[in-house]
Chain A
Amino acid sequence: MSGGGASLNRGNSRPNGGWSNRVSSPSARPSIQRPSGSNNISRDLNRSGNRDFNRSGNFDGNRSINRDVNRDVNRNINRDVNRNINRDVNRNINRNVNWNTNRRVNIGNVNVNPGWARPGWGVARPWNAGWYGGWSSPSWGWWGARAATWGVASLATAAVINNAVDNAVSSNATYIVVPNTDYQLLYGSVQPSGSQGVSFAVTADGSTYQLSADCNQGLLDGREPSNAAEAELLNAACQVAFGSV
């Protein structure tokens, strides 16, 4: 308890993203109680705490000699294989993406902590235009016709992406890993552009890019996604901007 600390204030400084004029989400109900189904830090701490204690208590006594021998052999083999695979995948993806180097930005200049990027982010998103709150994945018009070309059956669902953002918020991470890709979407940078467009920053292979997308036409920086990973990125950014939560 901090005596006299003013943790609430006038609330009159305009947050990044501006003021909302309408709270349209059906989940927006005034309640001071903690949401029953939400992820929270204390729950995560409890889980990891219990597991760690149990395991370390049982294993330390009898099995240490055998395990050391086995582990060394397995680890060496696995590490070699994984490293090689990862390098190949990263290189291929980056070549395929071929994002314009003009789109590169300094990650330090990207605002990754706007006021809405917090618990309750779905309702807190300050924009109300276009598809906000009224669209749900995976109903993109552009998806079905092109999916076969990219060799994937489905995109990540809204729930998967929402959970990823929830978990990132809980752990103070500024990005989510876009499902089935190596891209890191800086979710706090997501902003709508008109009724069906979105702009966002994404990190790939150590560089951060400021990109735009058209969620209705399925365009990434003005062109069709060139592979499944880019389609997943487009899908994730549009879900964060417009999707129901």
Chain B
Amino acid sequence: MSLRHHLLHGGLAIAAATSLVVLNAGEGKSEVMYTLTTQCSLNSEPAKACIVEAVNEGQSTLYRHKIGGDVMTVRVRDQPVRMDLWSKESKAWTSLKRAEARFSTNTVCFNGTDLCVVNPNYLNSVLQNQTPAMKGRDHVMVHFGSDGRVDASCYDEGCDVVRK
């Protein structure tokens, strides 16, 4: 086998390795944080058993809600906070209009009561991460503007004011 042949093989290997690194950096590392067996509700209907899979993927955290044969995925990004719902029809992310949480029932709801889920993991994390802002709060809601960014947030009775 000639020297030229060796160099050619080596070059191809390096190129392949380099492209793999670039690909990984672009996609971001995917890591399952937890899988939670819990209760979900769709459109204010009675609760159903569901499984929440929380996955860190690059700059996003994906929450896959598996309810029967249906899957609803919410993507949450930070800085600034944005929340999107995966649309199966359009195969694209659509910004949520609002999200809210009730600590005393461990419930998180997206777009009103379109999707509600008992997820104490999420709330425990939020509470510990933002202790001063959350201390003594029970109901928390954020509203997203047309650009997908938070344009209003409220706590407890203050949310009645925001709804008006």
**Interface positions of A (Cβ within 8 A of B):** 1-17, 19-23, 28-35, 38, 40-42, 113-116, 118-120, 123-126, 172
Contact = CB atoms under 8 A, between A and B. Distances in A.
Contact of A29 (B39, B81, B99, B139): B39
B78 A32 contact: no
Given A5-B150, A7-B130, A15-B127, 6 more contacts: A1-B161, A19-B33, A23-B120, A113-B128, A118-B123, A124-B124
A77 B15 CA distance: 92
3 A-B pairs with least C-beta separation: A115-B124, A119-B104, A19-B34
Nearest to A19: B34
Contacts, number: 185
Most A C-beta atoms less than 10 A away, residue of B80, B121, B129: B121
Contacts of B101: 8, 32
B77 A30 contact: no
29 contacts: A6-B153, A7-B134, A7-B142, A7-B155, A8-B81, A8-B83, A8-B153, A9-B126, A11-B54, A11-B61, A11-B123, A12-B56, A15-B125, A19-B33, A19-B34, A20-B121, A21-B36, A23-B37, A29-B41, A30-B107, A30-B109, A33-B105, A34-B139, A113-B128, A116-B124, A120-B104, A120-B105, A125-B120, A126-B121
A38 B102 CA distance: 13
Interface string B124-162: 111111110111111110100000011111110110011
Given A1-B162, A114-B128, A116-B120, A31 B107 contact: yes
B61 to A, nearest CB: 4
B61 A10 contact: yes
Contact of A28 (B39, B60, B128): B39
Interface of B: 33-41, 47, 54, 56, 60-61, 76-78, 80-81, 83, 99-107, 109, 113, 116-118, 120-131, 133-140, 142, 149-155, 157-158, 161-162
Contact of A123 (B54, B106, B130, B151): B106
B152 A3 contact: yes
Contacts of B153: 1-8
B33 A30 contact: no
A241 B152 CA distance: 37
Contacts of B60: 10
B78 A9 contact: yes
B142 A6 contact: yes
Given A5-B133, A13-B128, A124 B61 contact: no
A32 B116 contact: yes
Contact of B81 (A9, A33, A118): A9
Given A8-B101, A32-B109, A17 B124 contact: yes
Contacts of A35: 104-105
Contact of A20 (B61, B77, B120, B151): B120
A32 B81 CA distance: 21
B121 A7 contact: no
Contact of B36 (A16, A20, A40, A41): A20
